[in-house]
C-alpha cells in the first residue's frame, strides 16, 4: 500500500514536470494571440466536461472499495454500470454540439468566432476524457495506484510531449498541433486506463444491484464542492477572452503559467500534511494538529514570499523567454503572486476543515469563492483588462480566506495563528509593495 502511494506521489511530481516542459513548448510554438485563443477554448470546454463528468466519480471510488470489503459484487456491478451509462449519455450530449456548431458556440458564448477552430479539434477529446475519469475512479476503488499513476500521469504526458516536439519540428499549423496534443493525451489516458481495468470489468457479468439513494447522497456534496472550485479556478481566462481579446488572454496565460509554480508549492504542502492532521484529530490530539499546521504553513507562506521577491526582479526576464509579447504580463504575474501568498496563508484553515470531515463547510467556502470570483473578475476585467482579471482573483481569494477563517473559528473554537503571524503577513505584503515601487512597477 505504502509503495503504491509513493509511486502515485512520485508520478504526480513527474507529471507536473512533463506538463511544465510541454507548457513551455506550447508557448514557444504559437503567438501570444493564438495561445490566448487556445487557452480560452480549452478552459471553456474543460469547465463543462470536467465538472459534469465528476458527478459520480467519488461514489464509484468509495463504494467500489466498500463493496469489495463486503464482497457484494452485484453492487459493484450496479455502480459501475450506472457510471458507464452516465458517461455514455454525457458523451452524446456534450460532444456533437462542439463538432457541429463550433462557430455558433464560439460567437454566442465567447463573443468571437476566433475560438471555433480550437473548440472543434479539442472536442474530439471529450469522450476519452469522460470515460478515463470513471475508469480511473474504478481502479482507485481497487487500490490500483500504480496503474493509475502510469495511465494518468506517465504515458499520456510522455506521449503528448513527443507529439508536441515532432509537430513543432516537422509540421505547419502549430495552433492545431497544440490542440491535438491534448486529444492524443486523452486517448492515451483512456487506452491505458481501459487496459488496466479490463480484468476488473469482469464484475459486469453479475446482475446489478442498485443503492441509488446512498450513492447520490454521497456524491452530491463533493460534486458541488469540486465543481465550484474548478469553475472559479478556470473561469478567469474565459471571461478575459470573451470580454476583451485573445491576445490579452494569451499574455495572461503566460504569466499564470509561471505563477503556477507557487500553487504547486502550496499543493505539495497540503497533500503532505492532510493525512497527518487527520490522524492527529482522530486521536483527539487537536492542539498538536493545530500547532503542526501553523508551523507548516508559516514555512509555506515564507517560501512563497521569497519566491515572489525573486519574481519581482526576474519576472520580466522569465516572461521574455516565453516571447516579447509576454513581458506585457509582468503586472499580471506580480498581482497573481499576491493571490498565491494570501491563499497559502489561509490554506491551513481549509486543511483543518477537511481533516475534521466537514466537507459541507468546505462546500460553503467554495460557493463563496466561485461567486465572488465570477463577479469580481467580470467587474475588474471590464475596467482593467488582463490586470483586472488578476485583481479579481486577489479579491476572491481574500473573500475565501475570510470565509475559511470564520468557519475554522466556529468549528474549532481555537486560535491557529498568533497575532505576530498576522503582523508577519502584513510585513511580507508591505515589503513586496515597497520592493515593487523600488523596481519600477508598471513597466508592462
Q: Write the pLDDT tens digit of every residue in 364-415.
A: 999 999 999 999 999 999 999 999 999 999 999 999 999 999 999 999 888 8
Distance CA 13, CA 268 (A): 9
pTM of the complete model: 0.88
Q: First and final CA of the chain: distance in angstroms?
A: 50
Model confidence band, residue 330 (pLDDT cutoffs 50, 70, 90):
very high
Q: How many helices (H) and strands (E) does the chain have?
A: 16, 0
pLDDT of residue 433: 83
Q: Write the pLDDT tens digit of every residue in 193-202.
A: 999 999 899 9
Distance CA 125, CA 120 (A): 10
Distance CA 116, CA 112 (A): 8
Contacts of 374 (CB under 8 A, 6+ apart): 231, 232, 235, 239
How far apart, in Å, are the Cα atoms of 94 and each of 48, 87, 101, 123, 220? 8, 10, 12, 9, 21
Contact by Cβ (8 Å): 341, 429: yes
pLDDT of residue 329: 93
pLDDT of residue 404: 93
Contact by Cβ (8 Å): 145, 61: no
Amino acid at each position: 500500500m505504502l509503495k503504491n502511494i509513493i509511486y502515485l506521489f512520485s508520478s504526480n511530481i513527474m507529471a507536473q514536470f512533463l506538463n511544465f516542459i510541454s507548457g513551455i513548448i506550447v508557448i514557444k510554438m504559437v503567438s501570444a494571440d493564438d495561445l490566448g485563443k487556445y487557452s480560452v477554448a480549452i478552459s471553456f470546454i474543460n469547465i463543462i466536461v470536467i465538472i459534469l463528468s465528476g458527478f459520480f466519480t467519488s461514489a464509484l471510488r468509495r463504494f467500489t472499495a466498500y463493496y469489495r470489503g463486503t464482497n457484494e459484487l452485484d453492487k459493484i456491478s450496479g455502480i459501475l454500470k450506472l457510471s458507464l451509462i452516465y458517461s455514455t449519455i454525457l458523451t452524446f450530449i456534450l460532444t456533437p454540439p462542439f463538432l457541429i456548431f463550433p462557430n455558433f458556440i464560439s460567437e454566442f458564448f465567447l463573443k468571437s468566432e476566433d475560438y471555433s477552430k480550437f473548440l472543434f479539434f479539442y472536442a474530439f477529446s471529450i469522450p476519452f476524457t469522460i470515460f478515463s475519469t470513471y475508469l480511473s475512479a474504478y481502479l482507485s476503488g481497487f487500490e490500483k495506484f500504480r496503474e493509475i499513476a502510469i495511465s494518468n500521469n506517465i504515458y499520456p504526458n510522455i506521449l503528448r510531449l513527443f507529439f508536441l516536439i515532432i509537430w513543432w519540428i516537422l509540421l505547419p499549423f502549430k495552433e492545431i498541433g497544440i490542440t491535438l496534443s491534448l486529444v492524443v493525451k486523452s486517448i492515451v489516458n483512456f487506452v491505458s486506463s481501459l487496459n488496466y481495468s479490463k480484468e476488473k470489468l469482469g464484475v459486469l457479468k453479475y446482475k446489478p444491484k442498485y443503492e441509488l439513494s446512498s450513492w447520490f447522497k454521497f456524491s452530491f456534496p463533493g460534486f458541488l464542492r469540486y465543481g465550484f472550485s474548478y469553475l472559479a479556478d478556470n473561469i478567469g481566462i474565459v471571461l478575459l477572452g470573451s470580454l476583451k481579446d485573445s491576445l490579452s488572454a494569451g499574455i495572461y496565460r503566460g504569466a499564470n503559467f509561471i505563477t503556477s509554480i507557487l500553487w504547486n508549492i502550496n499543493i505539495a504542502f497540503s497533500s503532505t500534511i492532510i493525512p497527518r492532521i487527520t490522524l492527529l484529530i482522530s486521536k483527539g490530539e487537536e492542539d498538536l494538529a493545530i500547532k503542526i499546521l501553523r508551523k507548516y504553513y508559516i514555512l509555506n507562506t515564507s517560501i512563497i514570499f521569497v519566491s515572489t521577491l525573486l519574481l519581482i526582479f526576474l519576472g520580466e526576464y522569465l516572461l521574455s523567454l516565453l516571447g516579447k509579447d509576454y513581458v506585457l504580463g509582468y503586472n499580471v504575474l506580480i498581482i497573481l503572486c499576491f493571490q498565491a501568498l494570501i491563499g497559502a496563508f489561509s490554506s491551513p484553515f481549509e486543511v483543518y476543515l477537511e481533516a475534521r470531515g466537514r466537507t459541507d463547510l468546505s462546500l460553503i467556502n467554495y460557493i463563496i469563492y466561485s461567486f465572488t470570483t465570477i463577479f469580481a473578475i467580470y467587474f475588474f476585467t471590464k475596467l482593467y483588462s488582463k490586470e483586472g482579471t488578476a485583481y479579481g482573483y486577489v479579491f476572491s481569494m481574500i473573500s475565501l480566506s475570510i470565509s475559511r477563517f470564520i468557519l475554522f473559528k466556529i468549528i474549532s473554537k481555537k486560535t491557529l495563528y498568533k497575532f505576530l503571524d498576522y503582523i508577519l503577513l502584513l510585513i511580507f505584503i508591505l515589503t513586496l509593495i515597497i520592493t515593487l515601487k523600488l523596481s519600477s512597477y508598471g513597466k508592462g
